[in-house]
């Protein structure tokens, strides 16, 4: 990490800590964790990433302790979500939490060798970043920012994390129609009813345009009118029927 990158990362993490001090709750800790993990992911290919993050951790641990000492509680590794446990397995820092949200360790990132790495597609030059942006051009920046910063308070940590991952994996488009999604015209659908499975895994979710999501759950009387309004073709209808079957509903 360059000196400028370290300074920028330090500022972002410190701002996350200040936000938690102002509003100590699971949502602000989740935002702090997304900041830290984004930095870890971005610089994972750097050969000195562990040393760089240890340096950041050294500068920030006093801030973390002094600003949050009255609101945080000690936690254990098992208090983390299964997703975070898998990511930070083998690290043994002093864990802390607010409510049920555990702080991720700042320094906990090992160097990763990028297999099949292309010099023409990477994060470290303007030309290479442009190629990545071309691949993600379907996702509007403001929409992606909204998705990544919008925490759903009545859902699990695992759901919040996988919801973001699924939206990005689908390039911000509906899985059925391929329509580009906006800030609030889409839903993250559980393929099998959540009240039966309690399953928030990435593979159990799919992002749908709001009208399509309603169509998956609609009763028979309103289905025909909705199909006409959405101009659903045969292939899209089959995809909707597959989602309805997984919800134990009659096919259209």
Can you give the pLDDT at residue 73? 92
Listed by start position, the domains of the chain span 3-131, 140-246
At 179 the pLDDT is: 86
H or E element, residue 97: strand 95-98
Per-residue confidence (pLDDT) for residue 221, from 0 to 100: 57
Residue-level pLDDT at 129? 66
Say if pTM beats, i.e. exceeds, 0.95.
no
Q: What is the pLDDT along the chain (252 residues), one digit of tens a residue?
A: 889 999 999 999 999 999 999 999 988 998 899 899 889 888 888 889 999 999 999 999 888 888 998 999 999 999 988 878 888 998 888 899 998 889 999 999 888 876 655 666 666 667 766 666 665 555 667 787 788 778 887 788 788 888 888 888 888 889 998 888 888 889 999 998 888 888 888 889 999 999 888 888 877 656 777 777 778 888 888 888 888 888 888 888
Give the angle 229-188-23 at the CA atoms, nearest 5°: 130
> What pLDDT does residue 172 have?
86
Measured from the Cβ of residue 115, the count of other Cβ atoms closer than 10 Å reads 5
Distance CA 103, CA 2 (A): 25
Q: Is 26 helix (H, G, I), strand (E, B) or coil?
A: helix
């Amino acid at each position: 990490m360059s000196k400028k990158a370290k300074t920028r990362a330090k500022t972002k993490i410190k701002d996350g800590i200040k936000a938690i001090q102002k509003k100590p709750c699971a949502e602000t800790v989740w935002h702090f964790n997304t900041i830290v993990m984004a930095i870890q992911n971005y610089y994972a290919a750097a050969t000195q990433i562990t040393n760089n993050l240890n340096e950041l951790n050294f500068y920030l641990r006093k801030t973390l302790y002094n600003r949050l000492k009255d609101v945080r509680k000690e936690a254990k590794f098992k208090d983390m979500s299964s997703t975070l446990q898998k990511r930070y397995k083998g690290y043994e820092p002093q864990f802390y939490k607010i409510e049920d949200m555990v702080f991720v360790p700042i320094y906990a990132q090992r160097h990763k060798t990028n297999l099949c790495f292309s010099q023409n597609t990477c994060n470290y030059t303007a030309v290479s970043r442009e190629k990545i942006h071309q691949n993600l051009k379907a996702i509007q920046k403001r929409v992606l920012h909204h998705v990544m910063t919008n925490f759903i308070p009545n859902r699990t940590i695992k759901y919040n994390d996988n919801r973001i991952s699924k939206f990005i994996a689908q390039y911000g488009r509906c899985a059925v129609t391929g329509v580009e999604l906006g800030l609030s015209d889409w839903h993250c659908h559980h393929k099998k009813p959540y009240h039966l499975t309690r399953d928030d895994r990435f593979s159990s979710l799919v992002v749908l345009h709001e009208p399509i999501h309603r169509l998956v759950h609609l009763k028979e009387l309103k289905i025909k009118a909705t199909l006409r309004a959405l101009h659903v073709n045969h292939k899209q209808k089959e995809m909707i029927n597959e989602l309805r079957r997984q919800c134990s509903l009659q096919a259209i």
